[in-house]
């Protein structure tokens, strides 16, 4: 499925209507009601916020990976209260978001009582944007940081073959008098989803995103997808962050490293079967009484030196627009979604 284009005939639907449609798709493809609701809300939120690489474009992938049996849509996450500041979840080969939802109340309770709490999710599939996982904590006055590792497709800086995943990092912090400060970025130069979208649209990529099957730099997304690989963002710096994500999301959680499973031959979409780590901090427990005001002061100073766009500003603009005018989808995309829902 493609991101809405300016040229194709389009239609709009409300957030709730999109959630209901996506929920029907998940229910039709062997997920439990809780899992269907959680994933539908997540995917619709990405589409609403213009995060197209992880919005409805992903639905055929969710369906094929469920149909193939690679991921268990009925999995019931097992939450373990392991220490005063530590929660562990075995996602049981299910998606990561229901595992986070199952652990969320305990995680927040621990973060509020101990000042900091860590959530380690293993045996999970994260196929989505990461900001929906952290943003809600900031709305509750908490600071949250999360990392997820994915499947091997990124060449570490200085190496000649792929090893890391696109390994995103997302951060959220409360801000007085404004939306929370949230960023969410792949540690690769470009997300794998955006390479797929560019390939479908027949677009070239900017230089520095990836290499072809011979390890030569290429701007052709198909050459990256067909035997090539991505590069980390920022050379050795993004590479070091990606390495950190492997350690935190896999080694620390008990999940797989990105390279520890072979996704090439399985019949569904490439969902990762890896791990996720979240760190949640109650800033009220630190010296930071007034943390949200300090966040706002930082933003004010950034604006005063000429900054026009904060991370998250574009998403919030898209969100407001979608809330006012509805979510725009190509008619073809809507027809595909309805077909997946059996309508």
Ligand X SMILES: NC(=O)C1=CN([C@@H]2O[C@H](COP(=O)(O)OP(=O)(O)OC[C@H]3O[C@@H](n4cnc5c(N)ncnc54)[C@H](OP(=O)(O)O)[C@@H]3O)[C@@H](O)[C@H]2O)C=CC1
Ligand Y SMILES: O=C(O)C1=NCCCC1
Beta strands in 152-236 (DSSP E): 169-173, 181-185, 210-211, 217-218, 229-230
DSSP 8-state assignment for residue 343: -
Locate 95 and state its tokens. 């998606």
Dihedral angle, C-alpha 311, 317, 318, 324, nearest 10 ° = 160
Compare residues 124 and 333 and give the one whose CB is closer to ligand Y: 124
Beta strands in 174-322 (DSSP E): 181-185, 210-211, 217-218, 229-230, 274-281
Give me the residue whose beta carbon is nearest to ligand X.
129
Whether 54 sits among the annotated catalytic residues: the reply is yes
125 lies in the site for ligand X, by CB under 6 A: no
Contact pick of 80, 109, 313, 331 for ligand X (by CB under 6 A)? 313
Compare residues 150 and 322 and give the one whose CB is closer to ligand Y: 150
Compare residues 35 and 87 and give the one whose CB is closer to ligand Y: 35
Neighbour count for residue 224 (Cβ, 10 Å): 26
Number of H helices and E strands in the chain, helices first, is 11, 12
Neighbour count for residue 181 (Cβ, 10 Å): 21
Q: How far is the CB of 299 from ligand Y (least distance, A)?
A: 28
Whether 125 sits among the annotated catalytic residues: the reply is no
193 lies in the site for ligand Y, by CB under 6 A: yes
* 272 phi, psi to nearest 5 deg: -85, -30
Binding mask 27-66 for ligand X (x = CB under 6 A): ------------------------x-xx------------
Q: In what order do the strands lie in the sheet with 217-218?
A: 217-218, 210-211, 229-230
Whether 188 sits among the annotated catalytic residues: the reply is no
Active-site pick, 29, 49, 52, 54 = 54
Distance of alpha carbon 109 from alpha carbon 107, whole angstroms? 5
Compare residues 30 and 318 and give the one whose CB is closer to ligand X: 318
Active-site pick, 29, 49, 52, 53 = 53
Q: How far is the CB of 168 from ligand Y (least distance, A)?
A: 7
Locate 223 and state its tokens. 């050459």
Stretch that binds ligand X, among 178-186, 198-206, 218-226, 258-266 (CB under 6 A): 178-186
Q: Give the footprint of ligand X on this chain (CB under 6 A).
A: 51, 53-54, 126-131, 148, 150, 166, 168, 170, 183-186, 190-191, 193-194, 272, 309, 311-315
Q: What is the contact surface with ligand Y in residues (CB under 6 A)? A: 53, 127, 150-151, 166, 186, 191-193, 272
């Amino acid at each position: 499925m493609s991101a809405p284009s300016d040229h194709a005939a389009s239609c709009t639907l409300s957030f709730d209507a999109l959630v209901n449609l996506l929920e029907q798709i998940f229910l039709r493809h062997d997920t439990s009601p809780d899992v269907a609701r959680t994933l539908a809300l997540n995917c619709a939120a990405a589409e609403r916020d213009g995060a197209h690489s992880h919005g409805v474009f992903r639905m055929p992938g969710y369906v094929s990976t469920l149909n193939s049996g690679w991921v268990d849509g009925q999995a019931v996450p097992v939450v373990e209260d392991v220490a005063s500041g530590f929660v562990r979840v075995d996602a049981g080969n299910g998606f990561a978001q229901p595992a986070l939802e199952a652990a969320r109340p305990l995680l927040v309770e621990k973060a509020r009582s101990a000042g900091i709490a860590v959530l380690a999710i293993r045996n999970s599939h994260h196929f989505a944007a990461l900001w929906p996982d952290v943003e809600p904590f900031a709305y509750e006055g908490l600071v949250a940081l999360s990392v997820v590792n994915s499947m091997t497709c990124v060449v570490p800086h200085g190496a000649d073959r792929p090893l890391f995943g696109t390994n995103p990092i997302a951060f959220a912090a409360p801000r007085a008098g404004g939306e929370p400060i949230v960023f969410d970025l792949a540690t690769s130069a470009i997300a794998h989803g955006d390479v797929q979208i560019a390939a479908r649209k027949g677009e070239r990529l900017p230089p520095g995103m990836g290499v072809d099957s011979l390890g030569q730099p290429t701007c052709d997304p198909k050459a990256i997808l067909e035997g090539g690989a991505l590069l980390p963002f920022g050379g050795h710096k993004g590479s070091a962050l990606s390495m950190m994500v492997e350690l935190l999301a896999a080694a620390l959680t008990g999940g797989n490293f990105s390279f520890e499973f072979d996704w090439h031959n399985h019949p569904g979409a490439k969902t990762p079967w890896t791990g996720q780590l979240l760190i949640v901090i109650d800033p009220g427990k630190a010296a930071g009484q007034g943390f949200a005001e300090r966040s706002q002061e930082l933003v004010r100073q950034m604006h005063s030196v000429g900054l026009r766009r904060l991370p998250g500003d574009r998403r919030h603009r898209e969100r407001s627009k979608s809330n006012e005018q509805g979510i725009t989808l190509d008619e073809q995309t809507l027809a595909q979604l309805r077909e997946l829902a059996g309508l």
